[in-house]
């Protein structure tokens, strides 16, 4: 795929995250170009990235280019550790933020939550991840999970495509919304889905990914 097409995919993903309230002034997303490089969105509020606005090509190893946000080190660490990952979203979903400030992440209590597997791991540190050693620790904590939550600081989601990473970010926020509602109703002790139920529910056939991607990118000027 030509770099121009990859640029458009990154812009679509960035604006989808911004418009859906999963990121505000901060956050970033990227897609892998090959084993040694990836494309990250422009370093500005994702919902404000304009049609045709270029991102930046970064190497998986080595220093970040000038003008690239420091936390893009998280992308480098994950692309190094997990060769199957092809897209990453770093966001601040509000319900995820609220839960994480109490040291909690959402359990798989409903259908969308099943796509995250068990409750995502929590990086119990509210500081920004702006050095390579911390980025490597967060990536190791994430393991082969689709998401890791940063206490009071949002989340990182990785998948085999950028589109799936965006959709999983939306699912993570919905799981956190449900978790907050269950706890507010005093039902925190109610059982979450079992591993067998999670596996049976988290299916992608029947246009699951495509329909949510269509929903999240509706009205985008570069959608075609």
In tens, the pLDDT along 8-17 reads 999 999 999 9
Q: How far apart are CA 134 and CA 74, in angstroms?
A: 9
Name the pTM for this structure.
0.97
pLDDT greater than 90 at residue 149: yes
Residue 36 tokens read as 């040694």
pLDDT greater than 80 at residue 35: yes
Mean model confidence pLDDT for the chain = 97
Is the distance from CB of 100 to CB of 153 less than 8 angstroms? yes
Q: Kindly state the average pLDDT of the residues 93-122.
A: 97
Q: Kindly state the average pLDDT of the residues 172-199.
A: 96
Q: Kindly state the average pLDDT of the residues 42-71.
A: 97
Residue 5 tokens read as 């097409």
Q: Kindly state the average pLDDT of the residues 212-222.
A: 97
Domain ranges of the chain: 3-216
Q: Kindly state the average pLDDT of the residues 99-123.
A: 97
Q: Kindly state the average pLDDT of the residues 203-223.
A: 97
Please, is 209 exposed, middle or buried when counting C-beta atoms within 10 Å of its C-beta (0-12, 13-18, 19+)? middle
Is the distance from CB of 157 to CB of 89 less than 8 angstroms? yes
The percentage of the chain sitting over the pLDDT mark of 70, rounded to a whole number, equals 100
Confidence of residue 191 (pLDDT cuts 50, 70, 90): confident
pLDDT of residue 107: 97
pLDDT of residue 99: 98
pLDDT of residue 114: 98
Q: What is the DSSP string of the chain?
A: --HHHHHHHHHHHHHHHHHTTS-SSS-EEEEEEETTEEEE--SS-GGGPPTT---EEEESSSPPPTTS-GGGHHHHHHHHH-TT--EEEEE--HHHHHHHHTT------SHHHHTT-SPPPEE---S---SHHHHHHHHHHHTT-SEEEETTTEEEEEESSHHHHHHHHHHHHHHHHHHHHHHHTT-TTS----HHHHHHH---TTTHHHHHHHHHTTT-TT--
pLDDT of residue 146: 98
Sheet of strand 56-59, all strands in order from the earlier edge strand to the far edge: 56-59, 37-40, 28-34, 87-91, 154-159, 147-150, 122-123
pLDDT of residue 1: 72
pLDDT of residue 210: 98
Sign of CA dihedral 127, 138, 90, 110: negative
Is the distance from CB of 117 to CB of 145 less than 8 angstroms? yes
List Cα–Cα distances, 158 to 2, 31, 152, 176, 208, in angstroms.
Answer: 22, 10, 19, 17, 17
pLDDT greater than 80 at residue 138: yes
Confidence of residue 216 (pLDDT cuts 50, 70, 90): very high
Q: What is the CATH number of domain 3-216?
A: 3.40.225.10
Confidence of residue 217 (pLDDT cuts 50, 70, 90): very high
pLDDT of residue 224: 76
């Amino acid at each position: 795929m030509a770099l121009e097409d990859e640029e458009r995919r990154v812009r679509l993903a960035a604006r989808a995250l911004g418009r859906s309230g999963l990121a505000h002034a901060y956050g970033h997303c990227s897609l892998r170009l090959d084993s040694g490089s990836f494309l990250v969105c422009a370093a500005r509020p994702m919902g404000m990235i304009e049609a045709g606005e270029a991102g930046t090509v970064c190497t998986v190893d080595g220093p970040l280019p000038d003008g690239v946000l420091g936390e893009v080190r998280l992308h480098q660490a994950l692309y190094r550790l997990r060769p199957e990952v092809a897209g990453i979203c770093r966001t601040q979903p509000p319900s995820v933020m609220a839960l994480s400030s109490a040291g909690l992440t959402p359990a798989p209590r409903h259908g969308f939550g099943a796509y995250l597997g068990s409750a995502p791991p929590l990086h119990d540190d509210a500081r920004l991840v702006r050095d390579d050693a911390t980025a490597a620790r967060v990536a190791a904590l994430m393991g082969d999970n689709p998401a890791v939550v940063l206490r009071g600081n949002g989340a990182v989601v990785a998948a085999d495509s950028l589109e799936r990473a965006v959709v999983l970010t939306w699912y993570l926020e919905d799981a956190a919304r449900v978790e907050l509602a269950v706890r507010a109703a005093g039902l925190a002790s109610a059982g979450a889905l079992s591993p067998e139920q999670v596996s049976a529910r988290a299916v992608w056939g029947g246009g699951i990914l495509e329909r949510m991607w269509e929903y999240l990118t509706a009205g985008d000027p570069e959608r075609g």
